[in-house]
């Protein structure tokens, strides 16, 4: 698969939410980590923002989007991820209730 075919695949209907989430989280991570707005000459722009907490949150979102992407290519990957998520939630719930 060439780069143009892969790019078309990423912006196709089923892959568009992943693409938006992943590249959006990359942009948010960079924005919050660097803390500058490259388009500061525009009238409707955000002020400069540098936040360690927001950098951490956006990097977690970035890792979650990457995990979603990787799992989507494995056979039965989403089913296995749902199973592990339910299992982990049950463990956490039982740990909290005890």
pLDDT tens string, the chain, 98 residues long: the values are 788 998 888 888 888 888 898 899 999 888 888 875 555 555 445 555 678 888 999 999 999 888 888 787 777 777 777 788 898 899 999 988 87
- Give the C-alpha separation, 51 to 28, whole Å: 11
The predicted structure's pLDDT at residue 6 = 81
Q: Domain spans of the chain? A: 51-97
pLDDT, position 48 = 59
Q: How many CB atoms lie within 10 A of CB 29?
A: 19
What does the buried/exposed string (b/e) look like for 14-26 if buried means 16 or more CB atoms within 10 Å of the residue's CB?
eeeeebebbeebb
Task: Provide the b/e sequence for 53-91 (b: ≥16 CB within 10 Å).
Answer: eebeebbebbeebeebeebeeeeeeeeebeeeeeeeeee
Provide the pLDDT for residue 83: 82
Task: Give pLDDT, residue 18.
Answer: 85
């Amino acid at each position: 698969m060439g780069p143009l075919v892969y790019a078309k695949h990423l912006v196709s209907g089923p892959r568009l939410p992943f693409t938006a989430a992943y590249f959006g989280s990359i942009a948010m991570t960079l924005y919050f980590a660097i803390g500058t707005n490259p388009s500061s000459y525009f009238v409707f722009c955000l002020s400069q923002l540098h936040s360690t907490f927001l950098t951490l949150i956006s990097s977690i979102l970035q890792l979650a989007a990457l995990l979603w992407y990787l799992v989507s290519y494995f056979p039965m990957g989403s089913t296995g991820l749902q199973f592990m998520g339910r299992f982990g939630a049950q463990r956490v719930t039982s740990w909290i209730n005890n």
